[in-house]
Amino acid sequence: MDDALRATLADLYADGGRHDGAEADRRRRRRNLEPETAELLAMILRAAAAQRVVEIGTANGYSTIWLADAARDTGGRVTTVDVEEWPGLGANLERAGVRDVIDVHRADGGAYLASVPDGSVDLLFLDAERVEYPGWWPHPARVVRSGGLLAVDNVLSHPDEVAEFLALVDAEAWFDRTTVRVGKGLTLAWRRPAGAPGATSAPSPHGRRSSR
């Protein structure tokens, strides 16, 4: 990432903080991903050579830009989905120079995931209304390919809101899950390839969990 893009991201993050401080409606806040979490997720995307990336929760495009910059390095694309139409989003993506590798959809996250083919996503990032995630099941698990990754933000800042969803993830024996203590808490769940040790095709009451 070059200095110009880092400066653009810093401006967007600062602007998001100012906006949220003055916005009484929680759903209208941008609630941008913390920079250290965004940088970690982008590095994971690169290391995994992910090409088909889906983000649920767009806001002003801050995290979308981080993901798109990484996806460009892997030859991939980012699809970002939000139920709201956020003012200035297109201009932000153009300013960052990543608009050409991003597909923007205005839709409910669960409805969008229900339309995605099985095993077609390399990296799925959930950063939307957390209490809605259980109602989207099983699609967040179904769409992730064998060897792919499911990432969920805010798992330490809002544990009660994500507990039911993470229990669903843990009930699937083909997911290995860890929580990284970065930002507001990032859960990463790796979908074991078929035939890998410990992988099964049926749900299990026991999830594999760790915390770092």
108/85 Cα distance (integer angstroms): 12
Q: How many CB atoms are closer than 10 A to CB 75?
A: 9
User: Does the pLDDT at position 48 exceed 70?
Assistant: yes
User: Please, which pLDDT band fits residue 142 given cuts at 50, 70 and 90?
Assistant: very high
CA–chain centroid gap for 123, Å, is 8
Q: Summarize pLDDT for 100-121 with one digit per residue, the tens.
A: 999 999 999 999 999 999 999 9
The pair of structure tokens assigned to 134 is 């259980």
Check: CB of residue 180 under 8 Å from CB of residue 168.
Answer: no
Which structural domains are found in the chain, ordered by start?
3-211 (3.40.50.150)
Beta bridge partners of 187: 152, 179
Q: What is the pTM of this model?
A: 0.87
User: Please, which pLDDT band fits residue 209 given cuts at 50, 70 and 90?
Assistant: very low
Query: What average pLDDT does the structure give for the chain?
Result: 88
Check: CB of residue 96 under 8 Å from CB of residue 124.
Answer: no
